[in-house]
Amino acid sequence: MKRIIAAVMIVFLVLPGFAAAAPGGQGGPGGEQVGNGEMNTTPGGEQRVRAEENTTLREEENRTAGDRVQQRVAENTTIRGEENVPDRDRDRVRLAVHALLAAENRTGGIGQNVSAIAREVNNSVQKTFAAEEQIRARHGFMRFLFGGDTEAARLIEEEAQQNRERATELRRLIENCTCDEETRTMLWEQVRTIEQEQNRLATLATEEMQVRGLFSWR
């Protein structure tokens, strides 16, 4: 009987120790069991969770910032492309002038006349370039008060008209050219390029002179 009582007492003494050592039990390394079945994380676990959350937030912020940068680059590229249209057109005219000058020895008796007109067009391009830059640099507040730059616009308008007359003379010379058909076609293309630029400049001048400011009536 004493042995049975001693065995029962040993069992009661040993069982609590097994319960405490079981995984997920109270006081065990897995944390404390809460009423809703979830586990409270240990301090080290909380730090890891917070670190992961901060890393995720930083990655999202970086992606957002990268998207904003790409959008701005795209917008700036579009704006720069629009602003470079006049520069592109002027470059085309310069190339046309150089082509006319280079063809002097291929155009028979009209070569010197074509070159002389091409030089006049080239000088005109320098003038209209400066006037157009003056218009583009005009401050918005000045435009609000006094309207467009009529002086620069009139200069562009006059040069465009003179270049149209020069283009007409070039066409007359090319019609009388004794050159081959390939050279004639090339000359026509250069004259067409010059004429297209004069149309753009004339439109620019007209639009600039139509811009009215607060004190334009004076």
Q: Which two tokens stand for residue 14?
A: 């040993």
Burial label, 20 (beta-carbon count in 10 A; 0-12, 13-18, 19+): exposed
Question: Among residues of the chain, what percentage have pLDDT more than 70?
Answer: 59
pLDDT in tens, 110-138: 888 999 999 999 999 999 999 999 999 98
Strand partners, 39: 33
Report d(CA 120, CA 109) in Å as an integer.
Answer: 19
Rounded to the nearest 10 degrees, the angle between the axes of helix 85-102 and helix 111-136 is 170
What was the pLDDT predicted at 41?
47
Average pLDDT value for residue range 201-215: 90
The residues, ordered by sequence, that sit 6+ positions from 145 with a Cβ below 8 Å of its Cβ are: 213, 214, 215
**Residue 91 in this model has a pLDDT that exceeds 60:** yes
**Residue 84 in this model has a pLDDT that exceeds 70:** no
What was the pLDDT predicted at 2?
52
Question: Which of 58-67, 99-108, 177-186 ranks highest by mean pLDDT?
Answer: 177-186
pLDDT level of residue 88 (50, 70, 90 thresholds): confident
**Residue 86 in this model has a pLDDT that exceeds 50:** yes
What was the pLDDT predicted at 77?
39
Burial label, 157 (beta-carbon count in 10 A; 0-12, 13-18, 19+): buried
pTM of the model: 0.58
pLDDT level of residue 12 (50, 70, 90 thresholds): low
Range with the lowest mean pLDDT among 14-28, 77-91, 111-125? 14-28
pLDDT in tens, 164-194: 999 999 999 999 888 889 989 999 999 999 9
What was the pLDDT predicted at 24?
46
Report d(CA 132, CA 155) in Å as an integer.
Answer: 10
Residue 45, Cβ neighbours under 10 Å: how many? 13
